[in-house]
Structure 1
Amino acid sequence: MNDFYDQLPLQDAFAKLSDQALYTPLPDDWLVGTADIVGSTLAIAEGRYKTVNMIGAAVISAQINAAGGRAFPFIFGGDGAAFACPPEQGDAAARALSEVRVWAGEEFGLTLRVAMVPVSTIRTAGREVAVARYQAAQGVDYAMFTGGGISWAEAEMKRGQFDLPHADPGTQPDLTGLSCRWSQMKARNGQILSVLIQPEDGADDTAVAALIRDVLQVVGDLDRNGHPAPAEGPGTGWPPEGAEIEARATRGKMTVEKRKRQILFESFVAWLLIKTGLKIGGFDGRSYARKVGENADFRKFDDGLKMTLDCDDATAARLTELLETARKAGAIRYGMHSQSEAMMTCIVPSIMRDDHVHFIDGAAGGYTQAATQIKGGSV
């Protein structure tokens, strides 16, 4: 059994992950999987941002279930996702990707691009895929990527390369654990700022790492480093806004209405426990809500730096000035998008364990919108 990822050390200081020396190249025989939604910007403009995020998270959920509990590196991108797996998991991973593509088209009318690319091919193209594990909280860690290989694989996918066969019509992926029940999180400090920072090709690694440290130092002045979720955890209302989308995502062979009734009942019980502080069967709703916030993935290294920040105007201005200077020097390209709320999409294998993961994005399509505003090149 391939235990490469299990043996990687857990890093508990996010800022240190700007150091390339903390990353380990993936084995040459591993595979990188990528997926993204065609026309996601238009879908977001139509108000379908919850659906876009749900499909992006579904890519990861299907891979978690296909892996049968084995840990593997993955990263959420808003309108898509990427992951890596050992060769013995390749067939199951490709099948799960193809199933999510068919499901996204049939259930939501959105086209999902997917691809599986050998790491050896990425290296032949002159890019690297190196990974580190960041421990966001006790029991939960997220993969961080560097080397440009994930970005290269995504660009090739968009060119139609490394495509996969379509699954049969009507195929339902296993999306057990995928959910969308928390309320959107309103900015407490003025705005929710989605930030993407990517090194320019040929940029000096040392200079880029120094810039990232400067950026994180600026962000460090924000409460809890700009975490969009309050310390007590995200809010929960009833009925949850995402009940219909979650029902369509996780219904399996049930009707949407039956699955929705289940979700409404489960979420009502959780809402009641969080509001009252009551505990049932060892489940502490308020403690769980706090843990959700602690576990959430609001910043990441993904061939660059991505962040969703609860940010005041002065800090946003400082960030913009810093990034503009680096852009004009030819070191980076970057994009930003400001909105009033953040949103969360979750994968919860069990509410009785602490290994649930939660992906945060701007509620107006933050990462996707920021990507459309990427500015680069020296002037």
Structure 2
Amino acid sequence: MNQGSDSDAFYCTLPRIASFGAMSDPDSYTPLPDGWAIGTADIVGSTGHIAAGRYKTVNMIGAAVISSQINASDGQAFPYVFGGDGTTFACGPGQAARSARILGVMKRWAAEEFGMELRVAQVPLADIRAAGHDVSVARFQAASGVDYAMFGGGGLSWSEARMKQGAFGIPAAAPGAVPDLTGLSCRWSNAKAQNGTILSVVVEPAPGAAPRAFANVARQVVAVAEQLRRAGHPVPPEGPRLRWPPPGLTLEAHASRGRMSLVRRKMQLLRDTLIAWVFFKTGLKAGEFDPVHYAATVSSNADYRKFDDGLKMTLDCDAVTQRRIEQILERARRDGILQFGLFAQDEALITCFVPSITQDNHIHLIDGASGGYTRAAAQIKGAAI
């Protein structure tokens, strides 16, 4: 495929696959075209921020990286994956310069708005392949209105590791730079576990492990999780709870204020969220907006499981299923196939990007509310929280 607009549209040409189990099969994935690049970002010292009780902020910044890229994409679909304390995405050659500029803006914004260091990088696909890795993509159809990208090939993990070593870094934009985060919000209350615990699962291939061997184990884990009620979906089918004022109001004010004062933006949001709360509480419709349908779509659209050079899941899990998952993973770890981390908490955290309240294409990124993916991944690294 030639570089330029045809290459940029590559992701739009991929088939949407409705079976999550099929995402464990390497044959479901298609390599990115030449000329693409990988953007990656994470919060420096995220484990310390979590220990200080700032995980909702860490989560919001990770989601903000995605929303800033979506808002700048002119409607061009591109693959991305949310990892809790950061995110990774791919962009075509026609989008790379703008994407890098926005990463620099996000780095500046995170520092000025929250006092957190956001590490950002853009890695050419050519460098990934020269290092012996690749980036392949599939589209998982989570619901009728939304699909999420899945990644394989090892290139994302390599890119993140090189970023943390200081390679491919992007400098911060000029002071005062503000990203477009329209549609980013965190108004829903946390979803409480119904089956016992919210289990964060992070599974990565062991160095040198055969891709097929890892895929077989991942398929077993997914099959066990799918025996849970609603496959372990942590968000109730009718949608999460909403209270007023919403717990994430201050964070949303930071994200959406632009150059407006924080106090003024909070006052606006208090008014807007009160109106929204009345509609959700009563179920009354407003024109094309149906609050009952919208809340249910929040659940169906939720991104609670994914592949990104490994398997990540946020499951509403009972003790028996957790033990079965652990037994499968422990055996595979002893066999040199994978490494993994599990972290249990009481609630799941929901961060949202809503282009329109009257359409079904809103996305909802799920993580454990007490550190989730970051704490599970820390077990792999041997880090102590």
Scaled by the length of structure 2, what TM-score is found? 0.96
* 1:273–1:286 Cα contact (<8 Å) kept: no
Corresponding residue for 1:8? 14
Amino acid at match of 1:10: R
Is the CA contact 2:9–2:76 (under 8 Å) kept in the aligned structure 1?
no
Alpha-carbon separation, structure 1, partners of 2:152 and 2:299: 26
Q: Distance in 2 between matches of 1:205 and 1:162?
A: 27
Aligned equivalents of 1:97, 1:196: Cα separation in 2 = 26
Deviation at 1:18, TM superposition (A): 0.7
Counterpart for residue 25 of structure 2: 19
Show the counterpart of 2:270: 264
Name the counterpart of 1:345: 351
Correspondence list, 1:224-373, <5 A: 224-373=230-379
Deviations along 1:112-171, one digit per CA (max 9) or x if unpaired, are 100000001100000110000011001201000001000000000000000112200111
AA in 2 matched with 1:176: T
SS of equivalent residue, structure 2 residue 61? helix
Segments of 5+ residues of structure 2 without an aligned counterpart are none
Identity %: 59
- 1:107 counterpart (109, 113, 121): 113
Name the aligned partner's letter for residue 68 of structure 2. Answer: A
Matches within 5 A, 1:99-178: 99-178=105-184
Q: How large is the RMSD of aligned CA atoms in angstroms?
A: 1.0
Note if contact 1:33-1:117 (Cα within 8 Å) is conserved in structure 2: yes
CA distance in 1, matches of 2:288, 2:71: 26
Residue 380 of structure 2 aligns to a residue whose secondary structure is: coil
Q: Which moved more, 1:123-132 or 1:367-376?
A: 367-376
- 1:53 maps to a residue whose letter is N
SS in 2 for 1:303: coil
2:213/2:337 contact within 8 Å kept: yes
Superposition deviation, residue 314 in structure 1: 1.0
Matches within 5 A, 1:184-263: 184-263=190-269
Structure 1 residues 165 and 65: CA distance shift in structure 2, 3 A: same
* Matched pairs, number: 376
Residues 242-277 of structure 1: per-residue CA shift (max 9 Å, x gap) = 000110111012111121122222222222112111
75, 89, 99: which is aligned to 1:83?
Answer: 89
252-261 or 74-83, larger mean C-alpha shift? 252-261
1:63-120 CA-to-partner distances (Å, cap 9, x unmatched) read 0011121100000000000000011111110011111110100111100100000001
Distance 1:336 1:374 in 2: 9
What's the TM-score once normalised by structure 1's chain length?
0.98
CA contact (8 A) 2:26 2:212 kept: no
User: What is aligned with 1:40?
Assistant: 46
